[in-house]
Amino acid sequence: MLSRIQHFIEKNHLLDIHNLYLVGLSGGGDSVALMLILRGLGYQIEAAHCNFKLRGNESDRDENFVRELCKKHSIKLHVIHFDTTEYANLHKVSIEMAARDLRYGYFRQLCKDIGAEGICIAHHRDDAVETLLMNLLRGAGIHGLTGIRPKNDIIVRPLLCLSRAEITEYLDSIGQTYVTDSSNLVDDVLRNKIRLRVLPLLEEIAPGATANIDKTANYLREAEKVYDAEMVQEQIALKADSGEMMISYLFKQPSPSAFLHEWLMPLGFNSSQTEQILGAVNGEPGREFTSPTHTLVIDREKLIVEPISKPMKSIKIPEVGTYRYDESTTYKFEITDEINISKSAGVATVDADKVEFPLTVRPIENGDWFIPFGMTGRKLVSDYLTDRKFTILQKRRQLTLTDASGAIVWLVGCRTDNRFKVSSETTKILRITYKLD
């Protein structure tokens, strides 16, 4: 068995005999076996134990056990106590998620403090199969059906090649005791139900089911490499960081749904949303979807994704001067008798005598109209922007500058209104400069 574990470590490049590693030690059979096996194989290790104060005397029993175990084997132990319930209430997460956050946060910091190369966790083959089945029940994609990875960043799992039964058999063979978390024996959460009820039933129906499911996960991990490589190449071609995708490009992919999922998943969109988006792309222009961090809009021939931005605001401009619109934008208003018409998109020049203060910088509103410079007839701002191929999100960000009468003087960065144009009769110019810091 030790040879199998060493081969698994070498095959997956998990550990280096010359480096120090931290072992997460709960006191349960899996973590006890992991610590003793790594020590037996000659790896440099220190142990870390978290007391979450969730099981009363049982929590203290676990801590005392690992202290005695590490003392017996001369392994340095780090112990920390957490008020897990308070953390869960403060961050509005489940107790299970709170314990996970606290545990891994502590392990990562401790790794840095002691100069450890990685964190060894005692997940085994049965854990990987349980995870696969949980993800399968939740409707996960290919990445969720690959079980638990042998290595994820600095977290390594050297026992994934073993079953729970093999670990127990190893501990019995060396006469090593361990503690049992009583909460793992109650089928109150999904993982426990799969562990205590589903996997035994599968083994009864098809002996070797757990090992075969794990083999399938290994095959899927290999297929995942091909899948990811293809997705990366397509994303490079797409230039996904531009935040736009032509709908025609999407439907040229072998699997539009998979491609859309991979594009949007890192931006916080879930699989249910990607299905809805895919169903709406050909018939619902203007429909909008949001994730916790981004907004997606179906805009005519393409999908547009942008980070969620703060709502646009209005500011009053009582007189000439420099005004800050937000943390990154300023407007400068100055009057000059130097008749010099601007050709820059960031600078507008209008007849100062035709403009009445106070001015207002504000977002566009329904029904807004103006007379574009060089034209004589009115045009709705929304139609003008549509003609200019503005997307829905660009329209939402478009600002106008209006005078005291409410007339649009300047569609900021685009075009001034013909009613305020500089003419041969102009004696003073109002110069407006729009600047991004």
> Are 146 and 46 in a shared domain?
yes
214 annotated to bind ligand: no
For residues 80-99, give the mean pLDDT.
90
280-288: long-range contacts (C-beta < 8 A, 24 or more apart)? 281/247, 281/250, 282/247, 286/392, 288/392
Q: Which amino acid, residue 346? A: G
Q: 234 in a domain, yes or no?
A: no
> Are 391 and 270 in a shared domain?
no
> Are 73 and 196 in a shared domain?
yes
Please state the domain count of the chain.
3
Confidence of residue 240 (pLDDT cuts 50, 70, 90): very low
Q: 366 in a domain, yes or no?
A: yes
Q: 125 in a domain, yes or no?
A: yes
Inter-residue contact 338 to 383 (CB < 8 Å): no
Rounded to two decimals, the pTM is 0.63
Per-residue pLDDT reduced to its tens digit, 185-215:
667 688 889 999 999 999 999 999 999 999 9
Cα–Cα distance for residue pair 66/35, rounded to 1 Å: 11
Strands of 347-351's sheet, edge to edge?
A: 321-326, 329-336, 429-436, 347-351
Which CATH number covers residue 15?
3.40.50.620
> Are 71 and 211 in a shared domain?
yes
Provide DSSP, 135-192: HHHTT--GGGGS---SEETTEE-TTTTS-HHHHHHHHHHTT------GGGGS--SHHH
DSSP assignment letter at 43: -
Closest CA to 147 of 70, 221, 83, 92: 221
> Are 181 and 54 in a shared domain?
yes
Per-residue pLDDT reduced to its tens digit, 283-313:
888 899 999 999 999 988 889 998 888 888 9
> Are 343 and 408 in a shared domain?
yes
Provide DSSP, 307-347: E--PPP--EEE-SSEEEEEETTEEEEEEEES-------TTE
Domain termination residue (choose one: 307, 340, 361): 307
Closest CA to 54 of 25, 83, 88: 83
Per-residue pLDDT reduced to its tens digit, 19-60:
999 999 999 999 999 999 999 999 999 999 999 988 889 999
Other CB atoms within a 10 A radius of the CB of residue 432 amount to: 25
Closest CA to 120 of 154, 147, 71, 166: 154
27 annotated to bind ligand: yes
Cα–Cα distance for residue pair 38/44, rounded to 1 Å: 8
> Are 66 and 188 in a shared domain?
yes
Structure tokens at 415: 């075009």
Quickly list H helices, 12-93: 29-40, 57-72, 84-91
28 annotated to bind ligand: yes
Pick the more confident residue, 241 or 275: 275
The confidence score (pLDDT) of residue 197 equals: 92
Other CB atoms within a 10 A radius of the CB of residue 169 amount to: 13
Q: 223 in a domain, yes or no?
A: no
The confidence score (pLDDT) of residue 199 equals: 93
Closest CA to 83 of 99, 94, 67: 99
> Are 262 and 330 in a shared domain?
no
Cis peptide before 358 (omega within 30 of 0): yes
Per-residue pLDDT reduced to its tens digit, 250-288:
888 888 888 888 888 888 898 889 999 999 988 888 899
Which CATH number covers residue 250?
3.30.465
40 annotated to bind ligand: no
Q: 81 in a domain, yes or no?
A: yes
Domain housing 279: 239-307
> Are 283 and 333 in a shared domain?
no
Q: 181 in a domain, yes or no?
A: yes
At residue 328, φ and ψ (nearest 5 deg) are: -125, 0
Inter-residue contact 28 to 67 (CB < 8 Å): no
Q: CB within 8 A of 253, min separation 6: which ones?
A: 234, 259
At residue 390, φ and ψ (nearest 5 deg) are: -70, 140
DSSP assignment letter at 424: T
Q: List the Cα angle 76/81/87 in 5-degree steps.
A: 140
Per-residue pLDDT reduced to its tens digit, 110-142:
999 999 999 999 999 999 999 999 988 887 777
How many Cα atoms are found within 13 Å in the side-chain-facing hemisphere of 256? 16
Cα–Cα distance for residue pair 289/296, rounded to 1 Å: 5
